Chain A
Amino acid sequence: MLRPIKICIISRHVKVRQPHILSRPLITGPPPNIPPKHYQTPTSTPLPHPTPLDPSFQPDPETGDGKPLYVPGSPAERHASQGRRSSPLRRGMHESWWAKEMGWFNAVAKTIPTFRILDEEGNLVKDGMIPEVCQTHLQLSFTYKIMTLIPVVDNVLYQSQRQGRISFYMQCAGEEAAIVGSAAAMRSGDEMFGQYRESAALLYRGFPLNSLMAQCFGNVEDLGSKGRMMPVHYSAPEVGLHTITSPLATQMPQAAGVAYALKLDENRQGDCVICYFGDGAASEGDFHAALGMNSVLGGPCIWFCRNNGFAISTPIIDQYAGDGIASRGPAYGLDTLRVDGNDALAVLTAVREARRRAVEGQKGVLVEAMTYRVGHHSTSDDSSKYRPVEEVQEWTVVDNPLQRFRAFLVNKEWWSEREENDLLKKNKADVLKAFARAEKLPKPKLGEMFNDVWAVAKGEEVPHVIIEQRAELGRLLKKYGDVWEPWRRERKRYVEEGEDVMDCASRGS
């Protein structure tokens, strides 16, 4: 289910091809009479096969008109065009017809296809669409640049966590196309809710490397969380990123709220929300609450699922028994698409279209990007305990989002080996420079611990519990800050070495 049929292995190296685009037939899945091939690894254990509508089930010819189960337009529009008539329509939201026999089903359509533009080698699929974005390659090459930057960032920070230089890190290896491709489809005024693995989207939106590093080190330049949050928990209103928090799916109903606010705000017509979440988060109650509220109340929102096969160790076979996350879109009446998450061009094209639908219809749109989490869940995880290392290696070789997209750009003569080499050098230099800088900076003032707990209106006082507790720590620091060795050492890490808290009269800076 997760993985498309592989028919060839591509080389690790950039292939410079003839300028004309090779094309091959679109892979649509196994023909119906051949059982699908199943791999014996947890992610590819066969899901229960969705049963399409019973082919023998037909609308009653006398009362039905053979219309498909779902039709475009809202019930109100249909009601206006068709008038009131005796129909199940009056008892529910969707087009239906009276039937004399039971027609059980457990899928709303036949198995949901996965949209792609490029195959694993980066060639356009035969008779596939040539998206509008291909008319200019500037955006595509910028997308590619960010896709190549993030592995360098991830690598440096991952290794630094291993050396104890930062406390935690999460990589996005394997999901670069899904994350950057979707970010590329959004516009600068849009709002973004991340789960926690979308730092590449943040970089695409112009979040500086220095700020990213500052957050991961929790140093004095971490303006987002002022050293309070774990690494990768960015907060960047300047690029529309709402604060990342660790709980899963909590961002989703919030995104629905933002979408509704955009819908009401005359000055923000044309803006859109994108909300990222994973296959695991979609099991939380908040997922259903969010889609339900957004579908009823409206507001432009793209629900972007990174279906990477795992929630920490839990494979999707333990996560859901239906047809992925996409099958849930129609349940809420949302326009829905499943896309090959390792095909940057398809993701970009799909999310552009999703954005158009969301903004024009002032409604939610669900996109499920099928990808694979090549990295460990986080630095606290060792995925070899629950999935074969070979499976991971196979993904990096057989279906590598970076290589696919690069091959396409090279085919089109929009990218060259020289540019590639220059970019890799530049990325490495930029990242190491930002890293070195961030590591040298001290931690914020100790008093930041007590600031911002309650939002305080101008002219109002900080609540007394905070003032008193801050003063209590100040008193203790004055008494023990020099004579108690662990504290003497520890407070040196902070700007002003805790002196700001020792000023007991201070009401926060």
Chain B
Amino acid sequence: MYSYWKNNQLKIAPWIFLAPGILMFSVYVIFPIFQSINLSFYQWDGLGTKTYIGVDNYIELIDDEYFIVSLKNNVIWLVLYLLAVPAGLFAALFLNQTVRGIRIYKSIFFFPFVISQVVVGLVFSWFYDPSNGLLNVILEFFGFDSIAILAEEDYVTYGIIAAGLWPQTAYCMILYLTGLNSVDPEQIEAGRIDNARGWRMLWYVILPQLKPATFIAVVVTIIGALRSFDLIDIMTGGGPWGSSRVLAYYMYEKAFSEYGFRMGYGAAIAVVLLIIMMIYIATILYRLYRDEKGG
């Protein structure tokens, strides 16, 4: 026994260290995924007996206009939320200087990330409030009509995304600020000697060195966009008439809310959400793999 351990120590040890993580991951992530996929073929109210209905839930999804709206909003979220990355970069570049009191400015810029999403949602709800909100006070001052952003189906999703961008930009900014600390000053100097400045300096010298920070910023922003649940719940509850829902919120409504308890249908929505996430994650992993291989 002892000699077996001796001979294979290097092979076995990693698995022993990985075992707790693998166990947790299987029980709490992998197994539930398959459970959800299985559940999506049933009709179940969470109380009575489950009835197998094949792909009926998915057929209903295709014909469900609320689902289509949620899917569309998810795409809008994914695209627009990425604005947090360049915005964070420019905030970081702006703050990456040594002047008096810069730490205070940095703290102020980082502040929105520290407060809870619920507070962010409330602050923006008040900001958009049609009668007393700051936005409409400003609009009316310049002679425009007041507009209830959170009650307009065409604007509501953008309004919530704007609220979400506020803390997300701060997050990306912090990632870039750390990244900027590790930018090699010698390369900048070399670039300067070669007469690179402004945009060219940023694009060819700084940004390549910030690649790890960019990668993390993109990943957390995409994850943030897909989890955009709390802001929607606080600001609109999915309304008006369901036009600001995203898939995660629609799944929650169908499966767990006061008027829901269609577990099978909720599971089917979750499976669609999973597929979207898998596409994103696979793309990112593939690029990561390619970059590492390519060196």
Q: Do A and B bind each other?
A: no
Q: Which B residues are closer than 8 A to A by beta carbons?
A: none
A residues sitting closer than 8 Å to B (CB atoms) are none
